[in-house]
Amino acid sequence: REHDRGNEINARRARPNECVSSLQTMSVLRQLYDRDFPVYKQPVEIGYFSLDSKRKFWNDARQLRYYVEPEKCPNFNLRDGYRDRFVKRDDSIKEKLDHILRWILANRHKVQSKNVTCPVGVDFVTWRGHLTKLLTTPYETQEGWLLAVSKLAGTLYISEVETEYACRNRDNRTERHEEMMYWGYKFEQYTCADEAQGCPDSGGVVNTNEAFCTVVQTRLAEHKLLFSGEVDCREADLQAPQAPACYIELKTSAEIHTPKQRSNFHRYKLLKWWAQSFLPGVPKIVAGFRDNDGQVVDVETFKTSQISQLIKTEYNCWKPTVCMNFCSDFLSFVRETVREDDPRTVYLFSWDPHKDVTFTIHRDSEYSFLPDWFVKEMTR
Ligand code: A3P
Ligand code: MG
Ligand code: MG
């Protein structure tokens, strides 16, 4: 694995014959995107899939869980089980878009369009998490991103490439940070049941390979999007509105004592929480506030649609319209840039804080991410 890692790092440096210097760039300055909110159609769930405890793909909802409302001040110890009942997903394995592509092949009838030049019938296919990063870019000062884009049969596929900075951070996480990453999943176990009428089993194993993912279709300005995102749980009431309106996002956060802490929560955390849930149309976020020992001391519900109101008390705070207009303009930039319809060609879009977005072009490189089994089926 160490050997592979070395190759990966080398792969990130474009070789001279692969590199086309960026003739076009894109600014991320907030004021350029502070205009009317763009059209964002209500996201429609067109399907879902599950990843089991071994990370195996299933074209069904077997991993969907049901929310069980906890007490206002529950006695949840998020540290419980970290040592002895935790199976952690191997995050050095890069799955790229593979699960979504598998879903598309298994559900061709749902995505097929009559347009023979664009059989998937959307402009973009990607993960919700990649779009979340785009939405928050105008406000991000710490972490840049690399997004690989290939065009196949008229559709643009966007797949993230881990930056050297993120790779180093992943390798150098402290033991404390490793444990705190577990706390979010432990909170999910305390608040979710496997069946609609069931009870949470806080004595079970937390396995972060397991996931339920929704697949939604929507439109941002003139861009038709198909993306997938992990969903933590749904309302246990089977009479609840249909997905994605019945979905609930679960979060943990440090408890808030001071005005400064509240302000930081509004400025940084709520931006990420809002972007993640707004994109797939998840209306509700349940937050467990915990102390430094991992004890949940308060549970609060946030309506995704009310977060923009909640933050208006902050001076010079983030604006949803800036996030959405930046994302829309970036997608336009990608469409203008990516001309070659060839799965072996990758346009690598790169952004670092305080800089412009740039791109390089790579043919038959280690960046290629559309697998042969998908290309073969889509070009049949
Ligand atoms: P919290 O949400 O309570 O922070 P998600 O909230 O997206 O459903 O993710 C579940 C948990 O995965 C998170 O719980 C956190 O523990 C962990 N996690 C998600 N994204 C992460 C990231 N970028 N870095 C570290 N941990 C992350
Ligand atoms: Mg989740
Ligand atoms: Mg969550």
| DSSP output for 329-351 | HHHHHHHHH-----TTEEEEEEE
Ligand 1: nearest atom to the Cα of 129: 7
* Both structure tokens of 25: 């760039």
The pLDDT value recorded for residue 23 is 59
Is the distance from CB of 68 to CB of 76 less than 8 angstroms?
A: no
pLDDT at 308 over 90: yes
Residues 6+ apart with CB under 8 A from 15: 365
Ligand 1: nearest atom to the Cα of 183: 16
pLDDT digits (tens, 9 = 90+) for 33-87: 999 999 999 999 999 999 999 999 999 999 999 999 999 989 899 999 999 999 9
The pLDDT value recorded for residue 6 is 32
Average pLDDT over residues 8-19: 42
The pLDDT value recorded for residue 68 is 98
The pLDDT value recorded for residue 118 is 87
Q: How confident is the model at residue 138 (pLDDT cuts 50, 70, 90)?
A: very high
pLDDT at 17 over 80: no
Angle between helices 2-12 and 164-171 (to 10 degrees): 160
Q: How confident is the model at residue 27 (pLDDT cuts 50, 70, 90)?
A: very high
Q: How far is the CA of 351 from the centre of ligand 1 (A)?
A: 23
Task: Tell me the residue ranges of DSSP E strands in 75-139.
Answer: 86-87, 124-127
Q: How far is the CA of 332 from the centre of ligand 2 (A)?
A: 29
Q: Which of 36, 42, 58, 95 is nearest to 281 (CA)?
A: 42
Looking at every residue in the chain, the average pLDDT score rounds to 94
Is the distance from CB of 366 to CB of 7 less than 8 angstroms?
A: yes
Bridge partners, residue 287, by sequence: 251, 300
Tell me, yes or no, if the pTM score tops 0.90.
Answer: yes
Pocket around ligand 1: residues whose beta carbon is below 6 Å from it? 181, 183-185, 187, 232, 251-252
* Both structure tokens of 288: 């467990």
Give the closest residue (by CA) to ligand 1 atom 12: 184
Mutate to test the pocket of ligand 1, among 76, 178, 181 (most ligand atoms within 8 A of CB): 181
Is the distance from CB of 311 to CB of 318 less than 8 angstroms?
A: yes
Looking at this protein, which amino acid is placed at residue 86?
F
